[in-house]
Amino acid sequence: MKEILVTGAAGFIGASTVNVLSEQGITVVGVDNMNDYYDVQLKEYRLSILEKNKNFRFYREDIEDIQSIRSVFKKHSFDAVINLAARAGVRYSQENPFVYMTTNAMGTLNLLELMREFSVKKIVLASTSSLYAGQPLPFSENLDVSTPISPYAATKKAAEVMAYTYHYLYGIDVSICRYFTVYGPAGRPDMSPFRFIKWVYEGTPITLYGDGTQSRDFTYIEDIANGTVAALQPVGYEIFNLGCADSPVTLNKMIEMIENYTGKKACIDYQPVQKSDMTETMADITKAKKILHWQPRINFEIGLKESVDWYLKNAEWASKIKV
């Protein structure tokens, strides 16, 4: 592949995916609306690094606006689209479900329609492990995910189904990547690894929903980016779990590790469990190993240490990021 469109290019997964593609000599066109769902400083930080790459071109556009995205398609000849633009976050989706629907569902539809119009035959679509709520562990791709428990998960499911329709009707090749709790340096400040590191570092009480025994299949950002790029291969229509597939890590354990890495003691403000939160996640990645020849390489101890080290190195400005 010579030229690929990556939406959400200034996002956490987007920026890392652009780097992987660029290292392979692929020209990347990035699109991002730079919205303020979380502190734009982080997106600008990632974008400033990406723009040093001569094989990267950036457009500040919104996938919800089909006409503006059509203008990007007219200027380029894409071999594939990697759609990482999304409204993320389970809890906020309950406060503003409409923006989740317009971005995650309608935005994906806009891209699929433009792919049909401009004869682009491959899409990699970001989805979520949140779809597996209530299902038995480990989560495998053949489980029933027809009962999402948050607007976020529901809109991601809508995007998956629409992608299947365009595969069936127009022959678009679709790889859906269901990500499991992605973390790493310069990560999203609305997610627990960044927030907990920041709060422990500055001595602010950690807001913890539940008793901390809930666990997550934390997956390092570089592993996720490599899996996303691996999913560019032709598969027809397939769904892939991208997770660490190791023993899930409890929030209590993560806090303990952050205390060790920072040398500071955490103060915890316990709050009631949120109804839309999952108790535990764990990926079955057998399919990704077999078809994509992908598996994670960074364990949580190393990945969290890298995340803490990045924060400490950039604390002068990172400590000012709103969470």
Exposed e or buried b for every residue in 5-29, given b needs 16+ CB within 10 A?
bbbbbbbbbbbbbbbbbbeeebbbb
Q: Tell me what pLDDT residue 259 has.
A: 98
- In the chain, what percentage of residues exceed pLDDT 70? 100
Q: Stretch 185-208: mean pLDDT, rounded?
A: 97
Which amino acids are annotated catalytic? 152
Summarize pLDDT for 43-70 with one digit per residue, the tens.
Answer: 999 999 999 999 999 999 999 999 999 9
- In the chain, what percentage of residues exceed pLDDT 90? 94
Q: Stretch 92-118: mean pLDDT, rounded?
A: 96
- Banded pLDDT at 274 (limits 50, 70, 90): confident
Do 31 and 63 touch, CB atoms closer than 8 A?
yes
Phi/psi at 126 (5° precision): -75, 130
Q: Stretch 7-17: mean pLDDT, rounded?
A: 98
Q: Which tokens belong to 30?
A: 């990035």
Do 143 and 137 touch, CB atoms closer than 8 A?
no
Do 237 and 231 touch, CB atoms closer than 8 A?
no
Summarize pLDDT for 240-251 with one digit per residue, the tens.
Answer: 999 998 789 999
Prediction pTM value: 0.96
